[in-house]
Chains A and B, each alone.
Chain A
């Protein structure tokens, strides 16, 4: 006990003595191995470049952070906190808990080059009410991962239009191959498909209006999305029994050549390669166009850093955000994470065709959606994804499901 007290006193001593110099308190949810390593690296680098600043870094459990952040932004605000772009940051912006950082985006001369230009494609997802509220530092692409060898064997080329895509599914199905694998046991995989169908059928703005609760789920435009979905579900182009499998278990048919495509995030590549697929038989393509002329927005969940409006050391916090926006820093972070930098001047690890394809696709994207469960509020997202899964198992119940979701929408967005 005595030892504990002594060490407590010493700890307080250290904290109070360092707080005299520039102490920068950073809270993150990077409890997983790679994100933790990435932050260890950049904090060390930041301290080396700014010897007058001492960083105090608190790592929270990934899941627990979602609760903790509500508390600490009010009661014990750090100087920098990480969070997510898009509608996920909306409640904090509305409550006045995040600092407006538009001046960093406008390039106040601190940054190498013009930030708004280097990150133009990600600006929309950081903007609420015409202002920017944080700096994005990493994201990853979603799209269609496919077996190149199965496509070649069946004479299919990479589809760029919806008709080609459906035709490719029909060919694969006729050849006895499941066209699209999916594991919907934990629901969220279905949201990836829904998001892309909506983004391609109705466009980014409509998708945002829907996830913000401005449009009813019974809207004809939502019906149109399900009409497209019907074209895949009704002929049985998705894996059977998908409701019994996790996303990971649904990789197995693809590894074994029983399924050809997977609408997924880039994190699927690592386990697929570990299971024996190579760049020669595993490929990636952008989700095909549905309504011609609609600008192509992509699904790219983005991680961001913010300054709480009650932060004590905003000067150093801004230095840290500018540091995080730099091309060379983003390059290093994302090398560790195996994800994509947002700054256009960063490059990615050479020799990874998936990262290269993702980088190219996202740099030219019209806008980024953050994924259904980040764009829509938690309650709506969980009911919505339940509905999508139910629909994929019983497409005939579509009308009832949409009416139910509409009721949920009216309750959630009151």
Chain B
């Protein structure tokens, strides 16, 4: 088995592991701890340079109150759901179909199409910024949730297709042949045989895409201008005052914004880990 489990390693390695694990864990968690600490402070502490010491006042609830009353935070959260859920459904639905086609049908350009899907993943999205902005503007989808969703679906489908294609490819061919013998149509094979079997992959993809899209900041700022469609990640910047960067409110807002993906993660933890390894090992 690779990697070798730690308790089978030499004793010295086990000690090194035991010492360095907590250290790296602490270093890893310092920024998060910093955000948590800042979210209970007031601006006074921050201006006075008291970043890591004991907060002079406990203001978590008043910060939370400010976050939800000073800015349309509830609207931003709703917008985030309106962007994330359709994208998740759209990208997963499309990639189930493309994945099935690419995995199960032999046609001339099969490999080329598959490579195009993969290649799409390697285009840095900063390069696409201006053309995509122009495109959505000309179609009339600039500054709308629909525009953002369509773009995300298009961009995420590449990765999802790679994932689904490899998963479907690993299913036994005999199942499909048996169905064909019984006279099932191609659509029926997809619907009754492939989809039920790919359920773990679909669940894993859903969780992955949900977190990807929820955390998207870049495209939200490129394609969205007004409060009406702004998702929460980009909306956080409106917590700043006219002159002041309100670090305490930004921290509180970030925690609020992080809650849905964290809940999603704990609910679907098994699928999430499966999702990260599935595409890598099969195919």
Contacts from A to B (Cβ < 8 Å): 31-35, 61-62, 64, 246, 248, 251-252, 255-256, 265, 267, 270-272, 274-276
B window 235-253: CB within 8 A of A: 238, 241-245
Q: Given A246-B245, A267-B242, check contact A275 B226 (CB 8 Å).
A: no
Which among B44, B238, B244, B245 is the interface contact of A276 at CB below 8 angstroms?
B44
Residues of B within 8 A of A255 (CB): 47-49
How far, in Å, is A180 (CB) from chain B's closest CB? 18
B64: interface (CB < 8 Å): no
B window 211-249: CB within 8 A of A: 225-226, 238, 241-245
Residues of A within 8 A of B49 (CB): 252, 255-256
Whether B47 and A32, one on each chain, are in contact in the complex, defined by CB atoms closer than 8 angstroms, is no
Residues of A within 8 A of B241 (CB): 32-33
Whether A272 and B242, one on each chain, are in contact in the complex, defined by CB atoms closer than 8 angstroms, is no
Residues of B within 8 A of A272 (CB): 47
Q: Given A274-B42, A274-B43, A276-B44, check contact A32 B245 (CB 8 Å).
A: no
How far, in Å, is A35 (CB) from chain B's closest CB? 7
Whether A267 and B243, one on each chain, are in contact in the complex, defined by CB atoms closer than 8 angstroms, is yes
Residues of A within 8 A of B13 (CB): none
Known A248-B47, A267-B243; further 12 A-B contacts with Cβ < 8 A: A32-B241, A61-B226, A62-B242, A248-B244, A252-B47, A255-B47, A256-B49, A267-B242, A271-B47, A275-B47, A275-B48, A276-B44
Which among B43, B45, B242 is the interface contact of A32 at CB below 8 angstroms?
B242
Q: CA separation between A31 and B228, bound complex, in Å?
A: 13
Whether B242 and A252, one on each chain, are in contact in the complex, defined by CB atoms closer than 8 angstroms, is no
Residues of B within 8 A of A256 (CB): 48-49
Whether A61 and B242, one on each chain, are in contact in the complex, defined by CB atoms closer than 8 angstroms, is no
Whether B244 and A271, one on each chain, are in contact in the complex, defined by CB atoms closer than 8 angstroms, is yes
B70: interface (CB < 8 Å): yes
Chain B interface residue bracket vs A: 10 to 19
Count CB-based A-B contacts (< 8 Å).
47
Which of A64, A248, A251, A256 has most B Cβ within 10 Å?
Answer: A248
B window 34-82: CB within 8 A of A: 42-49, 70
Residues of A within 8 A of B46 (CB): 275
Residues of A within 8 A of B42 (CB): 274
Which among B44, B70, B225 is the interface contact of A61 at CB below 8 angstroms?
B225
Residues of B within 8 A of A246 (CB): 245
27 pairs from A and B in contact (CB 8 Å cutoff): A32-B241, A32-B242, A33-B70, A33-B241, A33-B242, A35-B242, A61-B225, A61-B226, A64-B225, A246-B245, A248-B245, A251-B47, A252-B47, A252-B49, A255-B48, A255-B49, A256-B49, A267-B243, A267-B244, A271-B43, A271-B47, A271-B244, A272-B47, A274-B44, A275-B47, A276-B44, A276-B48
Residues of B within 8 A of A32 (CB): 241-242
Which of A34, A64, A246, A274 has most B Cβ within 10 Å?
Answer: A274
**In the A-B complex, the 7 residue pairs with the closest CB atoms:** A275-B47, A252-B49, A32-B242, A267-B243, A274-B44, A275-B48, A275-B44
Residue of A whose beta carbon sits closest to that of B49: A252
How far, in Å, is B9 (CB) from chain A's closest CB? 44
| B 252-283 to A, binary, CB cutoff 8 A, 1 in contact else 0 | 00000000000000000000000000000000
Q: CA separation between A267 and B47, bound complex, in Å?
A: 14
How far, in Å, is A25 (CB) from chain B's closest CB? 18
Q: CA separation between A272 and B152, bound complex, in Å?
A: 44
How far, in Å, is A301 (CB) from chain B's closest CB? 12
Q: Given A32-B241, A33-B70, check contact A274 B225 (CB 8 Å).
A: no
Whether A34 and B242, one on each chain, are in contact in the complex, defined by CB atoms closer than 8 angstroms, is yes
How far, in Å, is B230 (CB) from chain A's closest CB? 10
Residues of B within 8 A of A276 (CB): 44, 48
| B 169-205 to A, binary, CB cutoff 8 A, 1 in contact else 0 | 0000000000000000000000000000000000000
Residues of A within 8 A of B238 (CB): 31
Residues of A within 8 A of B242 (CB): 32-35, 62, 267
Residues of B within 8 A of A274 (CB): 42-44, 47
Q: CA separation between A256 and B48, bound complex, in Å?
A: 7
Residues of B within 8 A of A62 (CB): 242
Q: CA separation between A10 and B225, bound complex, in Å?
A: 25
How far, in Å, is B146 (CB) from chain A's closest CB? 11
Q: CA separation between A255 and B44, bound complex, in Å?
A: 10
Whether A252 and B226, one on each chain, are in contact in the complex, defined by CB atoms closer than 8 angstroms, is no
How far, in Å, is B224 (CB) from chain A's closest CB? 11
How far, in Å, is A62 (CB) from chain B's closest CB? 8
Q: CA separation between A195 and B51, bound complex, in Å?
A: 33
Residue of B whose beta carbon sits closest to that of A253: B49
Whether A252 and B225, one on each chain, are in contact in the complex, defined by CB atoms closer than 8 angstroms, is no
Residue of B whose beta carbon sits closest to that of A140: B243
Q: CA separation between A64 and B226, bound complex, in Å?
A: 9
Q: CA separation between A330 and B63, bound complex, in Å?
A: 31
Which of B42, B43, B70 has most A Cβ within 10 Å?
Answer: B43
Residues of B within 8 A of A265 (CB): 243
Q: CA separation between A270 and B242, bound complex, in Å?
A: 12
How far, in Å, is B134 (CB) from chain A's closest CB? 15
Residues of B within 8 A of A33 (CB): 70, 241-242
How far, in Å, is A33 (CB) from chain B's closest CB? 6
Q: CA separation between A256 and B53, bound complex, in Å?
A: 15
Residue of B whose beta carbon sits closest to that of A33: B70
How far, in Å, is A137 (CB) from chain B's closest CB? 16
Residues of B within 8 A of A252 (CB): 47-49
Residue of A whose beta carbon sits closest to that of B71: A33
Residues of B within 8 A of A267 (CB): 242-244
How far, in Å, is A63 (CB) from chain B's closest CB? 10
How far, in Å, is A240 (CB) from chain B's closest CB? 15
Residue of A whose beta carbon sits closest to that of B240: A32
Residues of A within 8 A of B48 (CB): 252, 255-256, 275-276
How far, in Å, is A58 (CB) from chain B's closest CB? 11
Q: CA separation between A284 and B70, bound complex, in Å?
A: 30
